[in-house]
């Protein structure tokens, strides 16, 4: 959805010499909001904010809403103060995933070298497609036309010699734009921009640079390496200096593998009740387990995140002796980490469960066991649902996908209205 760096804009299509510019960055315009407007045409031309919830933030804002100062990641309360007349739509991620897949399919027709960055953005390396489809700028135009005609959505495309410059270019020509940054003009393009245009410079780094009177990309390029290292550290200094020179060694990488899977939840009202906290830990563990198994991966490290009412946040992690894909083991790890905190009457705003240190499930030989894992006695019902063997658990996941999650989720999550034992048993077997 783009960060709200206030960069100068170049609207419309800006064509130029695209020699050597083989990298494209495709960025959907106000993606979630545009999908909602397409679904409800009466919203066209109106300020639309996708987001919500008692403690929610803005996930996406239509350009009409942005005119009021509404930006992504802004608390909803503030957004609505700025734009009281906005239509607020709750996010529908399933719908966005579906449209995203259609966008990515259009990109895949251009080249195999597509690197999705998120649901609404991707890099393409078009060098292999030039002979078949024409110059990079023509390929960009073709993509924009296809997205518009097939999906009734607009996107903006940056074309440049590197990923970083292509991404900047697309952000500067939004919405519904095309911007080619010729190789020879890269430095003229980059140097006037503010430091936070550089990838990796957020509020904290920008403030540190500003204290040294380094405010533009040109300033970064002119700063002696040792000074830059003192301000931002050795690794970031090297990275920023290269970007400021127009150097970006990163390649378009299709098929990047996830390194962690996490689920976290901010509660509308702080949790204080121990049973509530335990139930949420189980729910989050189950969500993570389902996604882990859906990707056919296993994990060695389980972590939790706890955010208190005062926003103080802590994380804890534990690496297991063996790989796991089982909800019961993830949950056992999470509850042990939580118990070890020894909290006394906490007020909890957010809980999270995460697995990392991932590997392919196929690499790990599994013993199918009939034990019920480490679940505590009071959760025997949950153990029966989530502590079963890996193979049975995958079968349960498949049933959940077909018949709905309520058929086979841990019993203690099901509240007062559990499914009949027969249907749950049938779904598992």
Partner DNA sequence: TCTGGGGTCCTAGGACCC
Nearer to DNA, 37 or 61 (CB): 61
Among 29, 121, 125, 397, binds DNA (CB under 7 A): 121
Least distance (Å) from DNA to the CB of residue 349? 7
User: What is the H or E stretch that residue 150 is in?
Assistant: helix 136-151
Among 265, 276, 343, 418, binds DNA (CB under 7 A): 265
Among 149, 311, 416, 429, binds DNA (CB under 7 A): 311
| 205 makes contact with DNA (CB under 7 A) | yes
User: What is the H or E stretch that residue 422 is in?
Assistant: helix 421-428
The overall longest dimension of the chain from CA atoms, in Å, is 72
Q: In whole angstroms, what is the distance from residue 101 CA to residue 106 CA? A: 9
Nearer to DNA, 135 or 239 (CB): 239
What secondary structure letter does DSSP report for 194?
B
Least distance (Å) from DNA to the CB of residue 130? 26
Binding footprint of DNA, residue count (CB under 7 A): 62
**What are the CA-CA distances from residue 83 to residues 7, 66, 79, 163 (Å)?**
22, 9, 6, 35
| 19 makes contact with DNA (CB under 7 A) | no
Radius of gyration of the chain from Cα atoms? 25
Q: In a 3-state reduction of DSSP, which class is residue 408?
A: coil
Least distance (Å) from DNA to the CB of residue 135? 26
Least distance (Å) from DNA to the CB of residue 373? 19
* Residue from 421, 364, 427 nearest 392 by CA: 427
| 274 makes contact with DNA (CB under 7 A) | no
- Catalytic positions, written as ranges: 121
Neighbouring C-beta atoms of residue 416, cutoff 10 Å: 4
- CB-side exposure of 348: number of CA atoms within 13 Å? 25
**What character string, x for contact with DNA (CB under 7 A) and - otherwise, covers 366-405?**
----------------------------------------
Nearer to DNA, 152 or 235 (CB): 235
Q: In whole angstroms, what is the distance from residue 73 CA to residue 5 CA? A: 12
What secondary structure letter does DSSP report for 57?
B
Q: In a 3-state reduction of DSSP, which class is residue 358?
A: strand
Nearer to DNA, 352 or 387 (CB): 352
| 73 makes contact with DNA (CB under 7 A) | yes
Binding interface with DNA (CB under 7 A):
1-3, 53-57, 59, 72-73, 75, 77, 81, 117-118, 120-121, 167, 196, 198-206, 233-236, 258-266, 268, 287, 291, 300-301, 303, 311, 313-319, 349-350, 352, 354, 356-357
């Amino acid at each position: 959805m783009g960060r709200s760096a206030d960069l100068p804009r170049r609207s419309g299509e800006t064509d130029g010499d695209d020699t050597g510019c083989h990298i494209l960055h495709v960025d959907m315009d106000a993606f979630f909001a545009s999908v909602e407007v397409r679904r409800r045409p009466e919203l066209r031309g109106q300020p639309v904010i996708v987001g919500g919830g008692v403690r929610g933030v803005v996930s996406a804002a239509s350009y009409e809403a942005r005119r009021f100062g509404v930006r992504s990641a802004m608390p909803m309360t503030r957004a609505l103060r700025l734009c009281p007349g906005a239509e607020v739509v709750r996010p529908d991620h399933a719908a966005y995933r579906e449209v995203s897949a259609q966008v990515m399919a259009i990109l895949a027709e251009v080249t195999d070298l597509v690197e999705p960055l998120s649901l609404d953005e991707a890099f393409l390396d078009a060098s292999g497609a030039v002979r078949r489809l024409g110059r990079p700028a023509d390929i960009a135009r073709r993509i924009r036309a296809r997205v518009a005609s097939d999906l009734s959505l607009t996107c903006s495309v940056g074309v440049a010699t590197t990923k970083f410059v292509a991404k900047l270019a697309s952000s500067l020509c939004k919405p519904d734009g095309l911007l080619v940054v010729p190789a020879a003009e890269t430095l003229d393009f980059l140097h006037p921009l503010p430091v936070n245009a550089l990838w990796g410079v957020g509020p904290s780094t920008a403030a540190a640079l500003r204290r040294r009177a380094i405010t533009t990309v040109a300033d970064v390029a002119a700063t002696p390496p040792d000074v830059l290292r003192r301000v931002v550290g050795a690794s970031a200094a090297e990275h920023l200096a290269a970007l400021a020179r127009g150097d970006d060694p990163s390649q378009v990488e299709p098929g990047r593998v996830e390194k962690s899977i996490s689920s976290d939840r901010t509660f509308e009202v702080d949790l204080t009740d121990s049973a509530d906290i335990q139930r949420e830990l189980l729910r989050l563990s189950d969500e993570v387990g389902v996604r882990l198994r859906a990707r056919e991966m296993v994990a060695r490290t389980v972590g939790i995140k706890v955010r208190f009412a005062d926003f103080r946040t802590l994380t804890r992690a534990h690496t297991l002796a063996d790989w796991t894909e089982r909800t019961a083991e993830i949950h056992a790890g999470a509850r042990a980490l939580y118990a070890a905190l020894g909290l006394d009457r906490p007020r909890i705003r957010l809980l999270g469960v995460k697995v990392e240190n991932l590997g392919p499930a196929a690499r790990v030989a599994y013993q199918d066991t009939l034990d019920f894992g480490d679940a505590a006695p009071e959760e025997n019902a949950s153990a029966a649902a989530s502590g079963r063997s890996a193979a049975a658990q995958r079968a349960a996941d498949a049933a959940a996908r077909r018949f709905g999650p309520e058929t086979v989720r841990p019993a203690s999550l099901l509240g007062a209205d559990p499914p009949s034992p027969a249907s749950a048993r049938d779904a598992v077997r």
